[in-house]
Amino acid sequence: MAAAIMQGVRATKDLSSANYKRSCFATPRSLPERKRSSFVIHCDGNLTSGLNNSSSRSVRLSANAVSTKQENVAASTASKPGHELLLFEALREGLEEEMDRDPRVCVMGEDVGHYGGSYKVTKGLAAKYGDLRVLDTPIAENSFTGMAIGAAMTGLRPIIEGMNMGFLLLAFNQISNNCGMLHYTSGGQFKIPVVIRGPGGVGRQLGAEHSQRLESYFQSIPGIQMVACSTPYNAKGLMKAAIRSENPVILFEHVLLYNLKERIPDEEYVLNLEEAEMVRPGEHVTILTYSRMRYHVMQAAKTLVNRGYDPEVIDIRSLKPFDLYTIGNSVKKTHRVLIVEECMRTGGIGASLTASINENFHDYLDAPIVCLSSQDVPTPYAGTLEEWTVVQPAQIVAAVEQLCQ
């Protein structure tokens, strides 16, 4: 699965001419034996550091470390019960099950009806449920988002599809001032059980406006929950949970993950909106990631295992609030943290996650938290330049090797 995501991504070894540097967060003043340190990650995967190597806990490399079962899911998929679905089909199945279960659930957005949505998540639903429950709207994001919020106030459970998540910036006023705050400003008289979902992230040469990561835009809005799916299994489970939630939920879907295939259970299941997923248990370093970067991390993990490292990989899934229970237990075990995200570096999810870990688990850290993020630039259209803006597996490998020295 990871190989499918990385198809077409070129090696990053010869990119040093880009002179791209990322500085990680330095830990605040803390215990006397821990010195301020900094990392610089280069596009060629090289990492330089001022880290004090006399850490209180040294990492022992596992000479016989092997991949865990989670890394070899594809090999045993055929023998598992259930049925195979692509990620967009899993989203549709979860949506359809909830529409069958609850007549208040409805969908609205551009081309969600008879066209079936820009990525076919709502294909066939208009014919089954009718034009009122699967409502095609004009190209007017602010208007139909406000209409959905008003419908939620009257008791419906609308799902808003943004044809592209970047288009929902046109509805930012509705999402911020109404969707997130009306429950509070009405004194609890209204609930806003709205789901806002759609494709986003860096695609394959979609240009700057269609390659945005809006997690950082929405994370500061009070009253909004945010989740990001990364597999068909969690896409369906998070979709169902978001629809049933009494809170407004933004579900981030990555444009490059829609065609991922996975076998999911035949029986009904609903995931917890506030729970992270342990993708690969390990001992040496905690790698926190989500969405498409999960597959970049897992590709890097194979290289790291071959070199004797034992990384623990966690898909945080819940972008707001963070699952600090799962994250904290991992930090207490590994004492080192690497965050890998596709979001922008300035004010991104990684920045918030770094602050949360430093505030809650600083005494368990033996090295500064390293955060690998996308560059703070508009995503170029040129394919080679587009790759330079996003974290690549070679950079992840280099960061882990330096952290574990």
CATH number assigned to the domain comprising residue 307:
3.40.50.920
Question: Given this model, what pLDDT does residue 80 score?
Answer: 72
Out of 236, 264, 292, a domain closes at: 264
Same-domain status, 397 and 326: yes
> Distance of CA 328 to CAs 150, 314, 359, 400, Å?
39, 11, 11, 19
Distance in angstroms (rounded) separating the CA atoms of residues 8 and 333: 36
CA–CA distance, 286 with 265 (Å, rounded to integer): 29
User: What letter represents residue 382's amino acid?
Assistant: A
Residue 176 CB-density burial (10 A; 0-12 exposed, 13-18 middle, 19+ buried): middle
Report helix, strand or coil for 356. Answer: helix
Does the residue 328 lie in any domain? yes
C-alpha–C-alpha distance, residues 293 and 201, integer Å: 10
Residues belonging to the active site:
141, 210
Cα–Cα distance measured from residue 203 to residue 294, given in angstroms and rounded to the nearest whole number: 15
Distance CA 144, CA 380 (A): 30
- Give the largest CA-CA distance in the chain: 67
- The answer to whether position 243 is within a domain reads yes
Q: Is 249 helix (H, G, I), strand (E, B) or coil?
A: strand
> Do the domain assignments include residue 240?
yes
Q: Which of 36, 38, 39, 47 is nearest to 12 (CA)?
A: 47
- The CA distance from 232 to 227, in Å, is 14
Share of the chain above pLDDT 70, in %: 80
CA distance 279 to 128: 37
Burial of 32 (0-12, 13-18, 19+ CB in 10 A): exposed
Residues 244 and 322 in one domain: no
CATH of the domain at 184: 3.40.50.970
Residue 272 inside a domain? The answer is no
Token pair in block for residue 316: 């945080």
Indicate whether 74 and 215 sit together in one domain.
Answer: yes
Return the beta strands (E) in 295-357 as ranges. 311-315, 318-320, 337-344
Predicted pLDDT at 36: 35
Total domains, the chain: 2
Cβ atoms of residues 261 and 232 within 8 Å: yes
- Domain that includes residue 22, residue range: 5-264
Do 257 and 120 lie in one domain? The reply is yes
Q: What is the pLDDT of residue 243?
A: 98
Does 129 share its domain with 240? yes
Whether residue 255 is found in the same domain as residue 324:
no
Q: Phi-psi category of 126—alpha, beta or left, where left has phi over 0 and alpha has psi -120 to 50? A: alpha
pLDDT score for 398: 96
Q: Is residue 151 part of a domain?
A: yes
- Same domain, yes or no, for 257 and 302? no
| Nearest by Cα to 348 from 326, 331, 373 | 373
Give yes or no: residues 251 and 286 share one domain.
no
For residue 405, give both structure tokens. Answer: 């020295």
Of the candidates 234, 160, 231, the one whose C-alpha atom is nearest the C-alpha of residue 198 is 160
In a domain, 64, yes or no: yes
| 223, 238, 264 - which closes a domain | 264
Predicted local confidence at residue 400, as pLDDT? 96
pLDDT tens digits, one per residue of 339-353: 999 998 898 999 999
Is 63 found in the same domain as 212?
yes
Tens of pLDDT, residue by residue, the chain (405 residues): 334 334 443 334 333 333 333 333 333 333 333 333 333 333 334 444 433 333 334 343 333 333 333 444 444 445 578 999 999 999 999 999 999 999 999 999 999 999 999 899 999 999 999 999 999 999 999 999 999 999 999 999 999 999 988 899 999 999 999 999 999 999 999 999 999 999 999 988 888 888 888 898 999 999 999 999 999 999 999 999 999 999 999 999 999 999 999 999 999 999 999 999 999 999 999 999 999 999 999 999 999 999 999 999 999 999 999 999 999 999 999 999 999 999 988 989 999 999 999 999 999 999 999 999 998 888 889 988 888 889 999 999 999 999 998
Sheet holding 249-254, edge to edge: 134-136, 105-109, 157-161, 195-200, 249-254, 225-228, 318-320
Which H helix or E strand runs over 373? strand 370-374
Residues 215 and 120 placed together within one structural domain of the fold: yes
- Closest listed residue to residue 1, CA positions, set 296, 307, 227: 296
The size of the chain, in residues, is 405
Could you tell me if residue 173 is left (phi over 0), alpha (psi between -120 and 50 degrees) or otherwise beta? alpha
Same structural domain, 59 and 93: yes
pLDDT at res. 326: 97
Question: What separation in angstroms does the CA of 122 have from each of 99, 113, 166, 197, 198?
Answer: 11, 7, 19, 12, 11
- Cα of first residue to Cα of last residue in the chain, in angstroms, is 30
State the Cα–Cα distance between residues 311 and 283, nearest whole angstrom.
6
Q: Which pLDDT score is estimated for 78?
A: 52
Query: Full-prediction pTM beyond 0.85?
Result: no
pLDDT value at residue 376: 86
